[in-house]
Chains A and B, each alone.
Chain A
Amino acid sequence: MTTAIIRTTTKILAPLILVFGSYIILHGHLTPGGGFQGGAVFASGLALLIVANNKEKVKELFDKVPLSQLESLGALGFLGIGALGLMGYTFLKNVIADSGFLFGAPTPKGINPGYLNTGGTLSYLNIFVGTKVLAGLTSIVLIFFLILRRERDEW
């Protein structure tokens, strides 16, 4: 059902949804939401792009997007960040906190608005889980669209 109304609305809405999903993933340690929820929002924006275009356009858009590689990268990154804690501690121990890396600044105690440069490994885990969820959900929607709807492309 790729009418002109849906195509125009998608052109305006899809970038906003993608930016909002990235915001939820990046601010997972400060605001409500996190990797899983942000990845789902991002994947909903990509699903909007998928259902609003016809089959040739979708194939052209998603031909160069490495969805399967992104999903594997998310899983391996989560395990790798978890394995960082094995250097003297336990699995998934927050070793980057208070160390001064990116996201490694110490968290102020008490009630405060929250600073983006804190969180330690939690921010990295959020990013990897978000990558994994957006790639997984998008590839499921893409497979369903490309395969199960191929007879009725003209609807």
Chain B
Amino acid sequence: MRRALGLFAFLSFVIFLLAAAISLRPFGEPPHAEMDTYFIEHAQEEASANNVVTSVVFDYRGFDTLGEATVLFTAVSGVLMALRHYGGKEK
């Protein structure tokens, strides 16, 4: 019973993945390209940077970078907090 159930789940997952792979759009032809065109045309005057990637990362999606920096800060404080004990024992 369990084997039959597992086989059924596996087969349905494989069929789902195959159907998704077949119905993919061809590479390089996204369904909605308005956002890309907007960024390429307006990034220089709105975000004032020649590098469109930087203007997306730091201006249009600045909160994303803020969260990234917060993740790094949390990682560093976690490492320092977890290993401080060993450092103190040495002295």
Please tell me if the beta carbons of B66 and A78 are within 8 angstroms of each other in the complex.
yes
Say whether A122 contacts B58, CB under 8 Å. yes
A residues 78-127 with Cβ under 8 Å of B? 78-79, 82, 91-92, 94, 97-98, 106-110, 112, 114, 118-122, 125-126
Complex alpha-carbon distance, A32 and B68, angstroms: 19
A45 interfacial contact with B, CB 8 Å? no
Tell whether, in the assembled complex, residue A107 and residue B72 are in contact, meaning their CB atoms are under 8 Å apart.
no
For A97, the chain B residues whose CB sits under 8 A away are 47-48
Instruction: Confirm or deny: A12 has a beta carbon within 8 angstroms of a beta carbon on chain B.
Output: no
The answer on a CB contact under 8 Å between B66 and A82 is yes
B3-11, B13-21, B24-32, B83-91: which lies at the A interface?
A: B83-91
> How far, in angstroms, from A128 to B67 measured CA to CA in the complex?
14
- Is the beta-carbon distance between A143 and B80 smaller than 8 angstroms? yes
Query: Are the C-beta atoms of A32 and B51 separated by less than 8 Å?
Result: yes
What residues of chain A have their CB less than 8 Å away from a CB belonging to chain B? 28-32, 34, 36, 71, 74-75, 78-79, 82, 91-92, 94, 97-98, 106-110, 112, 114, 118-122, 125-126, 129, 132-133, 136, 139-140, 143-144, 146-148, 150
Q: Which of A30, A98, A136 contacts B72 (CB 8 A)?
A: A136
Q: Of the candidates A31, A107, A126, A139, which one forms a contact with B58 in the assembled complex, judged by CB atoms under 8 Å apart?
A: A126
Most chain A Cβ neighbours within 10 Å, of B50, B63, B75, B90: B50
Question: For the complex, what is the distance from the CA of A149 to the CA of B30, rounded to whole Å?
Answer: 50
Are B72 and A143 in contact (CB-based, < 8 A)? no
Taken together as a complex, chains A and B put the C-alpha atoms of A137 and B67 apart, in Å, by 17
Contact at B69–A132, with CB atoms within 8 Å?
yes
- What string of 1s and 0s marks CB contacts (under 8 Å) between B40-77 and chain A? 00001111111101110111001101101110110110
Shortest CB–CB separation between residue A119 and chain B, in angstroms?
5
A144–B68 alpha-carbon span in the complex (Å): 22
- B50 near A29 with CB under 8 A, answer yes
Give the 3 A-B residue pairs with the shortest CB-CB distance, closest first.
A97-B48, A92-B62, A114-B50
Contact B62 A107 (CB under 8 A): no
Question: How far is B83's CA from A120's CA once the two chains are assembled, in angstroms?
Answer: 40
